Amino acid sequence: MNRAAFCLSLMLFFSMSIFGQTSSEKVQKTAELFVSAYNAKDYVPFEREFNAKMKAAVPSVNLKEFLDGLHRELGEISKLGSPQLSAPTVGNFPTEFERGKMVVMVTLDAEGKIAGFRITAPPAAKPKNSSRNKTKLILPFKGEWLVVWGGDTPEQNYHQDAPNQRFAFDLLKVGAEGKGHKGDGSKNEDYYAFDQEIIAPADGVVTYVVDGIHDNKPGEMNRMLAAGNMVIIKHPEGDYSLFAHFKQNSVRVRVGDKVAKGQTIGLCGNSGNSSEPHLHFQIQNAPFFEDEGTMKVFFEKMSIKRDGKTETKTDYSPVKGDFVSQN
């Protein structure tokens, strides 16, 4: 090999090593920065590394509320595991908390700033799809709503393709004309579901709250914070109910609050991965989104209207096309 070729090869090797290591090392250091900031309950150093989109999507107050709630639920981080890199700038770190194990995901942009951050439960050891709720539930709203997505097949329920949402429902309020909105639907206020009260389907304790994410303009979605404003309630039987897409600053409960069946917990909105105001509702066996953790949901008693006929159902799991109301 001549000297020029050798130098070129050396330069290429050096560049690949340095830049490859820089990406993975930066992800590692960012994760370590999170652990340090989290355990100290001083989140500012970590937040400083957010890029502009993350800063806009996750205001300081929401980051603090989320991480403080995580402290109460799981305690401090005791060990940060070795990452699984799904890309040079995307790391998934198995993480041991005092009271549980989670996965911390960090995504960096081209400038090395934080473009994505997520904490989820680790993959389930075995499927739990055959399970159903143990808690006796009422519908989580007042009046009549339409099941837009719900059921056991992809045709009935597009959530079937998402393991951590498989048996979720998407629900809308519909007007007499059969549409979900009045006027041209260009404003959230045009939608019948917007500002409607969402209620606790059973007694429980609030374990997780997000409340400050802005509502989308109809037709637009915030994919970075998919659930938007959300609430999770743990019920005495061990089930967790999860509600997503609340209206910004409308949540009326906080982590640790005891709630009673039928109590208003917030107002329906259009935050997160939502193109129009609606309620996303699911029951799961874990305090966070968990693959294979969702259960098929049966409600204790309700009225069902379908094809012009109304009937009372007990221990029923609604499907797409059902108009449902509390009996």
pLDDT of 74 reads 85
The CATH number covering residue 36 comes to 3.10.450.590
pLDDT of 123 reads 65
**How far is the C-alpha of 153 from the C-alpha of 273, rounded, in Å?**
22
How many domains would you assign to the chain? Answer: 2
Output 252 or 129, whichever has higher pLDDT: 252
- The model's pLDDT over 198-225, given as tens digits with 9 standing for 90+, comes to 999 999 999 999 998 899 999 998 877 7
Please say whether the beta carbons of 292 and 128 come within 8 A.
yes
Which two three-digit tokens encode residue 98?
């005092």
| Residue-wise DSSP of 296-315 | B--EEEEEEEETTEEEEEEE
- Is residue 109 predicted with pLDDT exceeding 80? yes
Output 180 or 124, whichever has higher pLDDT: 180
Q: How many other β-carbons are positioned within 10 Å of the β-carbon of residue 99? A: 11
* 202 and 151 belong to one structural domain: yes
Which of 6-10, 23-27, 249-253, 313-317 bottoms out in mean pLDDT, i.e. has the lowest? 6-10
Query: How far from 321 is each of 25, 170, 181, 194, 281, CA to CA, in Å?
Result: 50, 11, 17, 20, 16
Per-residue pLDDT band for 229 (boundaries 50, 70, 90) equals very high
* 82 and 25 belong to one structural domain: yes
* 28 and 112 belong to one structural domain: yes
184: amino acid identity, one letter: D
Confirm whether 9 is domain-assigned: no
* 60 and 104 belong to one structural domain: yes
* 158 and 261 belong to one structural domain: yes
* 157 and 24 belong to one structural domain: no
* 171 and 294 belong to one structural domain: yes
Of 120, 135, 167, the residue that ends a domain is 120
* 207 and 67 belong to one structural domain: no
Range of the domain at 56: 20-120
pLDDT of 120 reads 80
**How far is the C-alpha of 119 from the C-alpha of 91, rounded, in Å?**
12
Please say whether the beta carbons of 307 and 268 come within 8 A.
no
Per-residue pLDDT band for 135 (boundaries 50, 70, 90) equals very high
**How far is the C-alpha of 136 from the C-alpha of 201, rounded, in Å?**
8
User: pLDDT over 90 for what percent of the chain?
Assistant: 65
174: amino acid identity, one letter: V
Per-residue pLDDT band for 8 (boundaries 50, 70, 90) equals very low
Confirm whether 320 is domain-assigned: yes
Confirm whether 256 is domain-assigned: yes
pTM: 0.67
